[in-house]
Structure 1
Amino acid sequence: MKHLLLFIFSLLLFTSCTNPTDTASVQNYFNLKGFIENQITELNKRKPLVNKEMALGDKNENKQTNEIDWRQELELFTQADLNKQAYQLSYTISQPSSSTFLYTLKSGEKLPVKSLKIVLDEVSKQPKLVEALLQEENRLYDSEKKLQLTCTMRPEGVWLVKTYEINGFQHLTITDKKTFSVKGTIN
């Protein structure tokens, strides 16, 4: 199972490279990066027990732990933030309801974040649901990651992640397609 964890870690690391010119911050969209950074700080401070399910192809592993590197664990959610200079005019914004914001990549744009959906809690105005679709494709590599994160008010009065899930695949032209999933439920 160490190989499963190592592979999933390398998958996430391999896809986490960003162009330094893209990191200039603009605030045209919901500040997902700031929200996730705050969650990472709280989770590192609290060290909650997490039920974690991981799968790579047909190999599965389940464990309970409170030893999680939250920055690494939620890295893909940070990458789904749209407030980057290169993304500034690349998304259409729709609001299906007063608490739901949907960002969709415009036709002809070639960016990895295809869509981002944020549903805010009516009372706290904090995200209770974050969903994103990330896709990359070139001559050597093809990947897709579907992200989902739910949050809720904890008994201590803190807005905190409840569940997070990453499902997807990676396909190098010289290898078979590898499917993977990670699901965490915070107790």
Structure 2
Amino acid sequence: MPVANRIPILCLGLLLATTSCERPAPPTTAEASDSYNLAAYIEQQQERLQAEKPMVLKSVTTEEKPTETIQTAEIDWEDELSVFAETDLNRPALQEYYTREERVLPDGNIVLEYNRVEDAEPLVHYLRLEMTPDRVLRQLNALIQDQNILFYSRRNIQLTADPSSGNISGYRVQGVQKLVLSDSLHYQIDANL
């Protein structure tokens, strides 16, 4: 094929690649607009913590080993909070995989719960957000499960925030992972700021 004939095909390929990487349009339904913007919250917290570098008491426990505890201010917050960023369910492509329920508790706090629909296999199986009446995050609980032929991972995660500021005050990750032909590894990570 002559080079002149390849150029339009190359341009078309680049155009398709560029448009396929565009960010999807935000949800337009009233329900989606009432949802909590978890991705923006996590990003804002990552930036704040990276700038402030607070002291963190972090404990890691794995099977048959003593708990290791460190106190440090040297944490890569983007990496550290990435598991919580995975629970953002506001993307339009994910809406069909979940039922969504919002209710007000007797103390005025708001609970927003997402449960996966039967027969769906998304990464996040359950998400519960508890917020103040002003929609400031107090607590996040989620179950994340990933499975394929070679790998199994299940994590129960919890994040707590100061209700007056919304800033993260602590988090926990309890998990199990298993590679094919190896034993399961159970672990728990606790962090307090």
- The number of residue pairs the alignment matches comes to 163
Q: Mark the structure with the bigger radius of gyration.
A: 2
Q: CA deviation at 1:97?
A: 2.5
Q: CA deviation at 1:62?
A: 0.1
- Where in structure 2 are the equivalents of 1:1-187 lying within 5 Å? 24=24, 26-27=26-27, 28=32, 29-59=35-65, 60-97=67-104, 99-122=110-133, 124-153=134-163, 158-186=165-193
Take 1:85 and 1:58, find their aligned partners in 2: how far apart are those partners?
43
Higher strand share: 1
- Gaps of at least 5 residues in structure 2 are 1-19
Q: Secondary structure at the match of 1:81?
A: coil
Q: CA deviation at 1:25?
A: 6.0
Q: Secondary structure at the match of 1:159?
A: coil
Q: CA RMSD in A?
A: 2.1
The C-alpha deviation readout for 1:65-101, integer Å capped at 9, x for no partner, is 1111111100000011112343122110112435000
- Gaps of at least 5 residues in structure 1 are 1-19
Q: CA deviation at 1:153?
A: 4.8
Q: Secondary structure at the match of 1:55?
A: strand
Q: Which amino acid aligns with 1:30?
A: Y
TM-score normalised over the length of structure 1: 0.79
TM-score normalised over the length of structure 2: 0.77
Other-structure match for 1:10? none
